[in-house]
Amino acid sequence: MIDCHMHIGWFGYGARKAVKHMDALGVERAWLLGWDSIATGREPARKIMTNRRTYNAWKDFPDRFVPFCSVDPLSRDPEKEVRSWAERGFRGFGEHKVRLRIDNPDAVALYLLAGELGWPVLFHIDIWRPEAPFWYNHDIQALEGVLQQCPKTTFIGHGPGFWREISGDADSARLGYPSGKVKARGRLIKLLEKYPNLYCDLSARSGLNAISRDPKFGLRFLRKYYKRILYGTDMFTTDHIDYLRSLDLPRNIFQAITRQNALRLVPVT
């Protein structure tokens, strides 16, 4: 399997400890994501998840990790920095998690560059509330314009502001992790049907909640969109794979979600 969402330093997991965890789960490789957010500056976690740390972990375990770089669009010369990491062998852009709108023009320039490099962009979307201490890349309604502007860039969505949109009543819920039945077709479903360059990352509580809150709907969603869904965790537990295995999915669907889609987007040898 390939885990599309892992951070070195998160929950105290260094590279060696992360590899032991991967071995226990049967994960062959993991995409290592950074987090660069100079506009926020309050989160101690972003000081842990640096591109340099990702690079060092990849160099220590080149057959187990696939390095992604995270560069804040407001940094001094973000395009130069991205190209620098590309020259060193990085393979993707993410986790893109900054305190800007998802369609910020400086961010769009980096999405276009990622497309030029053949990189996917793995992004986090939150629910925008001005009173909240932290929010990133709002809002989901601006995502459609980004998908239109960057048709050659593959986007992989993640986070509570992304996954709650699986349901048509997301606006009324005002919750990051809604429970209960999924109602009608949410914005996420409509975007998946309209834009082939949009994919979904199942990681974190948000992804797992989206497919398990309404088990029958979640199963239908996985069966219908399995070529656009990637297994990821963002944490060092077995929760996500345990749930996927409990569904007894057809072998081709399970393999697409847990391995083949990731290999198609970022081929490795």
The whole-number average pLDDT for the span 37-57 is 74
Residues 6+ away with beta carbon under 8 Å from 234: 5, 6, 7, 10, 158, 203, 204
What is the rounded CA–CA span in Å between residue 71 and residue 54? 13
Give the confidence band of 99 by pLDDT, cuts at 50, 70, 90: confident
Radius of gyration for the chain, computed over Cα atoms and rounded to the nearest angstrom: 17
Determine which of 133-137, 181-185, 265-269 has the lowest per-residue pLDDT on average. Answer: 133-137
Give the pLDDT score at 104: 94
Residue type, 255: Q
pLDDT at residue 33 tops 70: yes
Greater model confidence, 37 or 10: 10
What 3-state DSSP class applies to 88? coil
Give the pLDDT score at 135: 74
Q: Cβ–Cβ contacts within 10 Å for residue 250, how many?
A: 11
The whole-number average pLDDT for the span 150-172 is 94
Give the pLDDT score at 126: 87
What is the rounded CA–CA span in Å between residue 16 and residue 8? 10
What 3-state DSSP class applies to 102? coil
How far from chain centre, in Å, is Cα 91? Answer: 14
Determine which of 3-7, 11-15, 38-42, 64-68 has the lowest per-residue pLDDT on average. Answer: 38-42
How far from chain centre, in Å, is Cα 269? Answer: 22
DSSP 8-state secondary structure symbol assigned to residue 269: -
List the one residue out of 19, 22, 46 whose CA is nearest residue 35.
46
Q: What is the pLDDT of residues 80-90, one digit of tens each?
A: 999 999 999 99
H or E, element range at 25: helix 15-25
Q: What are the φ/ψ torsions at residue 26 (nearest 5 degrees)? A: 85, 30
Give the pLDDT score at 269: 78
H or E, element range at 61: none
pLDDT at residue 116 tops 80: yes
List the one residue out of 200, 198, 208, 201 whose CA is nearest residue 176.
208
Does domain 2-265 correspond to CATH entry 3.20.20.140?
Answer: yes
Average per-residue pLDDT in the chain? 92
Tokens linked to 241: 């794979």
Greater model confidence, 197 or 132: 197
Give the pLDDT score at 42: 55
Q: What is the pLDDT of residues 125-144, one digit of tens each?
A: 988 766 665 678 877 889 99
pTM above the 0.85 mark? Answer: yes
What 3-state DSSP class applies to 122? strand
What is the rounded CA–CA span in Å between residue 16 and residue 25? 15
pLDDT at residue 113 tops 80: yes
Instruction: Tell me the domain boundaries of the chain.
Output: 2-265
What is the rounded CA–CA span in Å between residue 171 and residue 199? 22
Give the confidence band of 45 by pLDDT, cuts at 50, 70, 90: low
Cis geometry, peptide bond prior to residue 193 (ω within 30 degrees of 0): no
Give the confidence band of 154 by pLDDT, cuts at 50, 70, 90: very high
The whole-number average pLDDT for the span 112-131 is 90
Give the pLDDT score at 43: 57
pLDDT at residue 115 tops 60: yes
What is the rounded CA–CA span in Å between residue 27 and residue 258? 9
The whole-number average pLDDT for the span 229-249 is 97
The percent of residues in the chain predicted with pLDDT above 70, rounded, is 93
